[in-house]
Amino acid sequence: MTLDDLHFEGLELFPPDALPADEFIARLRAGMLVASGDRLLRDWNYAPWFSGSFTHAGQAFDVTVYLGGLGKLTSGSACTHFLLATP
């Protein structure tokens, strides 16, 4: 999976007025996936800045972006991807 592959069906963002949906999608797509053993994942401890949920290919996803740009994309309890969103 790449970030460009995602389709954001039924996108809901929280807080809803913090960032327009098209800008949120553009920032995610411009970002990059982070490997599970990357040092960034050991060092980050920022507060959540923005979150959302959407459906892609019939599967529900939740995304949380933390201050500093690191984010977490999850689908159920079995699939977690980390990403670095553009500022």
Q: What is the pLDDT along the chain (87 residues), one digit of tens a residue?
A: 677 777 888 888 877 777 788 888 887 788 788 887 787 777 766 778 888 898 888 888 898 888 878 888 888 766 688 888 765
Using alpha carbons, select from 59, 63, 66 the residue that is nearest to residue 44. Answer: 66
Structural domain of 21: 3-84
Dist. CA 27–CA 75, nearest whole Å? 19
Total domains present in the chain: 1
Q: Which residue's entry shows tokens 């670095």?
A: 84
Residues 52 and 14 sit within 8 Å (Cβ to Cβ): yes
Whether the Cβ atoms of residue 46 and residue 66 lie closer than 8 Å to each other: yes
Q: Which of 31, 36, 35, 34 minimizes the C-alpha distance to 4?
A: 31
State how beta strands 32-34 and 9-14 pair.
Answer: unpaired
